[in-house]
Structure 1
Amino acid sequence: MAYDAGDAPLAARLTGEAAQLKKRFNDAFWLPERGYYAVALDRDKRPVDACASNMGQCLWHGIIDDDKAPAVAERLMSPEMFSGWGVRTLGADMGAYNPASYHNGSVWPHDNAIIAAGLLRYGFVEEAQRISTALLEAAGYSNGRLPELFCGFSREQVTEPVPYPTACSPQAWAATTPIMLITSLMRYDAHVSRGGFWLDPVLPASYGDVHLTNAPIAGSRMTIDIVGSVPSVQGLPEGITFHREHRPWLTELMAQAGLPE
């Protein structure tokens, strides 16, 4: 926002602070001998080495070092973490794992939508497609409505997702999960202050064609069609240009502005 407002000194200062935070995070939380990030630090600042889904959300934030991202993606999609219906909150090889617990082995749809978006950010398209497809298939067992969470039993063990007894349904962030999954795979993004709208779809062929109407942008409404992974857009307001590529990341914007990353 500082960059868009033309406040280059503030943008540079905040970007520098973010870079320091990223370095401190990777130094403190990365477990090189395990190939994943600790879920927390204890009171003595020692890493808690439980393998949890939280690190997938760190992909979405962009705080993970590029050289560590492949190991994180591999771990998230391992049999211990990926149940076949989604990524578990805690790995099945951890001491506290319980597929029927609230946080220690269950699958949360909104958590998985964020993970899928993070995987796409780092270029792991196939992995994001697997998570999205698994969740949309899981929704078919609950009348098309994803619940707050379901149990983390493996798809090899059960023929359908096992409901969590007290899961909220409907729940707001679970309800928005399919939207985030689809728009992430569409690589749908806007930056109105820069006059741009971006699409670069990587939807699986099994999803078929996509037709969206009445999508809001800059006080107007647009229609989007994706046929065979080829997007077209009608109704963009004046001053907004369509780009078939990913929206520039903050680091790219900073580089364009001549600011330190």
Structure 2
Amino acid sequence: MTTRRHVLGFAAAFLLGMGSVASTAQAQSKDLVIFAAASLKNALDEAAAGWVKESGKPAPKISYAASNALAKQLEQGAPADIFMSADLDWMDYAASKSLIKPDTRVSLLANRIALVAAKDSTAKVDLKSGVDLAAILGSGRLAMGNVDSVPAGKYGKAALEKLGGWDKVKDKVAQADNVRAALLLVSRGEAPLGIVYTTDAAADPQVKVVATFPEDSHPPIIYPVAVTKDSANPDAQAFLTYLRGPAAKGAFEKQGFTVLNKAASSS
């Protein structure tokens, strides 16, 4: 009898717990969830704060990571209402997997990549044809996002290949999971040089730009944004509209982004 009572008590507690979990999940589903490239953090945090103030809506839940990681999470069923990528390739990937609403896709921002060093570094680099970063690094390493998947890493590798400097330095690269992680390696003094977006460099007072890569040395750095296919949150389109407006433009330009705000199909 005691055992039966315990079983019934456990079952009741379990069902009550499940009800609580369901209620929590239902409440969380009302949150506006955004998957955004790590390099957007400072600018998007400011833009989101402005949207909250203007709309009176709850603050969106923003998950920052490398664009490739976020696209894969979406593919695996992670719930999000908006996807903001740091390159066209990963937004194209999301589109090819029917993970976004194509008619909401916009090419919102442009960026640049730069070579950075610690703020007290005396390194001098001319990013021209034949540049030899390995000689400048000595025993140190070049911090970059993963060159096969992270957009900033892909842009950096493409630029060095175009300048004829990749083969000389490829064995000295410290690859990070995202561009902010690469920035941190330089900021902490764990790598003497790194390749990041100019906007990342502006966000960290512990680093400085040593040189900016020529724009024609790599594909254009475009940040597309779109509402995800499964989003049923009415605030998703409202927030996207806000990002395309003058208030958000100020937040992005403050961090060094160029605002494009152009509707775009797959590249």
Question: How would you bin the TM-score normalised by the shorter chain?
Answer: under 0.3
Question: TM-score, structure 1 length as denominator?
Answer: 0.23
Q: Which of 1 and 2 has greater Rg?
A: 2
Which is bigger in relative contact order (C-alpha 8 A, separation at least 6)?
2
The structure where strand makes up a greater share of residues is 2
Question: TM-score, structure 2 length as denominator?
Answer: 0.22
